[in-house]
Amino acid sequence: MNTSPDGSIVRRDTPRPDLIAFEIKDKITRPDIEWMSAIADGAMTAHGTIDMLLIMSHYEGSELGARFDGYATGVMARSVAHIRHYVVVGAPAFARAMITLSGAVLPVETKTFDLSEEAEAWAYLAKAGPAKA
């Protein structure tokens, strides 16, 4: 595990290299989102197709600069072609609705779980197997 520059995001260990997982523990800052975006960008470059798991254990929103970071926005736009499963644990109600809507209109399979269901989220991704067969 390693931690973002301002400490609000922790990269969690995963059982396979094409699955990246982050735990959000606080308010997301611009350096944090850039750090997370660089990891996702590197994984997409290395593996082509990846799965992503976000665990929002203590999410407290994000700074304005983090929401409008150019690099992060570019990585997010490109991720549509590279993320197979996007799984979020503990998302607030408004975020759950956006994730569900995204899954209906984008070629990314989205799924949300309650914070108490983290084990089920990991099991769901284990059952899905590697992102590239």
82 within some domain: yes
Whole-number pLDDT of residue 127: 94
Q: How many domains does the chain have?
A: 1
Chain centroid to Cα 57, Å, comes to 13
Interatomic CA distance for residues 102 and 59, integer angstroms: 20
CATH number at residue 77: 3.30.750.24
Question: Structure pTM?
Answer: 0.86
List alpha helices for the chain, DSSP H.
30-47, 64-67, 70-79, 93-105, 118-128
Domain of residue 15, residue span: 2-128
Do residues 109 and 35 make contact, with C-beta atoms less than 8 angstroms apart? no
Whole-number pLDDT of residue 62: 75
Whole-number pLDDT of residue 28: 86
Whole-angstrom CA distances from 50 to 27, 75, 115, 132 are 25, 13, 22, 8
64 within some domain: yes
Do residues 20 and 52 make contact, with C-beta atoms less than 8 angstroms apart? yes
DSSP letter at 28? Answer: B
133 within some domain: no
29 within some domain: yes
77 within some domain: yes
Would you give per-residue pLDDT tens digits along the chain (133 residues)?
598 888 899 999 999 999 999 999 988 888 988 998 999 999 999 999 999 999 998 777 677 666 666 767 777 767 778 889 999 999 887 777 777 767 666 778 889 999 999 999 999 999 998 987 5
Whole-number pLDDT of residue 92: 81
Sign of the CA dihedral with 53 first, then 39, 66, and 75 last: negative
Chain centroid to Cα 116, Å, comes to 18
